[in-house]
Chains A and B, each alone.
Chain A
């Protein structure tokens, strides 16, 4: 097995706010990030997939294809958008770096032919990044949840 990582960039605005908290609590927990006018970042996303090398092409996955999928599923959706106001992923979940990593995973899982999604890394700045390796394995004796509600805050806020 080999791991392949593709990087892409997008720029977006966000703010941190939880409607369940009072304005004072939001200010205390989120500080400057609670400013509801928002602020922005140049994000970098790194998608790591694992798989076997195709003996014919020498690829785990066609890089052009991976780039196109990343563009279609994530970058094209998030780039130059306000994450809180325009992206349904963050209708109830706060668009922290952690939750963006989980949301990007949900968007990409099952979309990359021939390879398995291994890791999503989101850089908010060079000095801050979050890694998500997917939800814990589903117990097959339980109901299959597929791309279910595993993003934190999704079922609790709003």
Chain B
């Protein structure tokens, strides 16, 4: 019997939305203010959602201390107070919040103690993006159709 555990983390980072494959005019037209060459920043809020059975000994889906430690080591130390464009994962991928959600999902998918259901990132109180774990990864919920290329690929190019 599953319970869903949701935990929020905060980090602040800068970015610039720019695609090398587009001309300067196209970049400006596509990304608007976000194409400012100097970049700009946000206070991001990440909500990670896990599911699992409640451990009878601890009353927990997963120990928050373990999750917080994981988040500190893998998420916050990497993304807090940095320029996202300088990170290797955004060298050829535009650091939109969509792509950021996919990267953060990749990070938390390695958390060993519960099943990652989704990652939600709020870029501002008015903008948020959710990346839901594809059904191919759910052993208890087999995919209805054969798995093909992820639909999220290239969502922000």
A interface residues (Cβ-Cβ under 8 A, vs B): 16, 18, 20-21, 29-31, 93-99, 101-102, 126-133, 135-136, 150-153, 155-157
Contacts and interface: CB of A to CB of B under 8 A. Distances in A.
B54 A131 contact: no
B53 A152 contact: yes
Nearest to B9: A127
A18 B56 CA distance: 10
B77 interface: no
Interface of B: 1-9, 53-61, 63-65
23 contacts: A20-B57, A21-B57, A30-B58, A94-B59, A94-B60, A98-B59, A99-B59, A127-B7, A127-B8, A128-B6, A129-B6, A130-B3, A131-B3, A131-B4, A136-B1, A150-B1, A151-B54, A152-B54, A153-B56, A153-B57, A153-B59, A155-B56, A156-B57
B66 to A, nearest CB: 10
A98 B8 contact: no
A31 B9 CA distance: 20
SS of A interface (majority): loop
Given A94-B60, A131-B3, 19 more contacts: A16-B58, A18-B58, A29-B58, A93-B59, A94-B59, A96-B54, A98-B3, A98-B54, A98-B61, A126-B8, A128-B8, A129-B6, A133-B4, A136-B1, A151-B54, A152-B56, A152-B59, A153-B54, A157-B57
Nearest to A150: B1
Contacts, number: 71
A5 to B, nearest CB: 15
9 closest residue pairs by CB, A with B: A94-B59, A152-B54, A131-B4, A96-B59, A127-B8, A156-B56, A98-B3, A153-B56, A99-B59
Nearest to B58: A29
Contacts of A131: 3-4, 6
Contacts of B5: 97-98, 130
Contacts of B57: 18, 20-21, 153, 156-157
In this complex, which of A101, A129, A152 has the most chain B Cβ atoms within 10 angstroms of its Cβ? Answer: A152
Contact of B54 (A30, A99, A133, A157): A99
A16 B57 CA distance: 11
Given A98-B5, A129-B6, A132-B4, A29 B56 contact: no
Contact of B59 (A16, A31, A128): A16
B3 A128 contact: no
Nearest to A131: B4
A17 B4 CA distance: 22
B6 A98 contact: no
Contacts of B65: 31
B56 A130 contact: no
Contacts of B64: 128
Contacts of A130: 3-6, 61
A157 B7 contact: no
A101 B58 contact: no
